[in-house]
Copies of this chain bind each other. A is one copy, B any other.
Amino acid sequence: MQDTDFISSFAKGLKVIEAFDEARPRLSISDVAKTTGLDRATARRCLLTLSELGYADYDGKFFALTPKILRLGHAYLAATPLPALVQPTLDQLSERTAQSASVSVLDGTDIVYIARAAQKRVMSINLTPGSRLPAYCASMGRVLLAALPEDEARAVLNRSDLKANTPRTLTAPDEIIAELWRVRAQGYALIDQELEPGLCSIAVPLENDRGRIIAALNIGAPAASVPAAELVERYLPILREAQVALKQVLR
């Protein structure tokens, strides 16, 4: 077997795992072939391998992932010190503000939640470590995009599906780039119902002890209880404290 065969079969297998999601929890061989663009025979081999190894269940027609799959994602969460380092700060933030506090990192065009301390759920989706949101319209995404050189940020926007989730969502790349300059200058990003109606949030970058931005920290609040205009006054000072405290901790 050649290196290229090896790489390609491993890559295809990983692609098949990613074919399962909220909208597609149970998939047939043809479903997977269609979603991944793999041919039927390859999709079948990948699915049977997953089933053989206990990562998927098969009822003769449909495949569904098993909890064993969580070992893979958990390998990252367990192996990276960031979630454990920030969790106590998030718990405090969430308790002090009675809102949800989260930390995320950039992965392609998405932000990925790596730690979260949640109060009552205000979003329509349930966010947990591993959850993803599009970067262009999320406060942590704006902070992380603002940390990139402009051409890289623009390249991410070009690859993004810039949808108007609400009438307020910025979708024109030039407008978003202008907003990123503002975010960089003021040191925080404010989102007023661009991701979903009724949800506001404010985010700051997290630097490690060498001054490199490695993650973003935010507080999200229902617009009905805390209008976006008040987020800065209420929460920015607390976020700044957390930012300074975490800078000592993050290496």
- List the interface of chain A (C-beta within 8 A of B): 1, 3, 5-7, 9-14, 17-22, 24-25, 45-46, 48-49, 52-55, 64-81, 83-84, 87-88, 91, 105, 107-108, 112, 114-115, 117-118, 120-121, 126, 128-132
Contacts and interface: CB of A to CB of B under 8 A. Distances in A.
Contacts of A18: 71-72, 75
B87 A126 contact: yes
A10 B7 contact: no
Copies of this chain held together in the complex? 2
A130 B9 contact: no
A17 B236 CA distance: 38
Nearest to A53: B11
A12 to B, nearest CB: 8
A84 B121 CA distance: 11
A141 to B, nearest CB: 13
Nearest to A215: B67
B65 A75 contact: yes
Nearest to A88: B121
A24 B69 CA distance: 19
A113 B195 CA distance: 28
9 contacts: A5-B5, A22-B79, A25-B81, A67-B76, A68-B107, A69-B76, A72-B72, A73-B74, A115-B128
A21 B126 CA distance: 26
Contacts of A76: 20, 65-67, 69-70, 73
A14 B50 CA distance: 10
B120 A14 contact: no
A1 to B, nearest CB: 5
Contact of A79 (B11, B21, B72): B21
B21 A70 contact: no
A205 B115 CA distance: 28
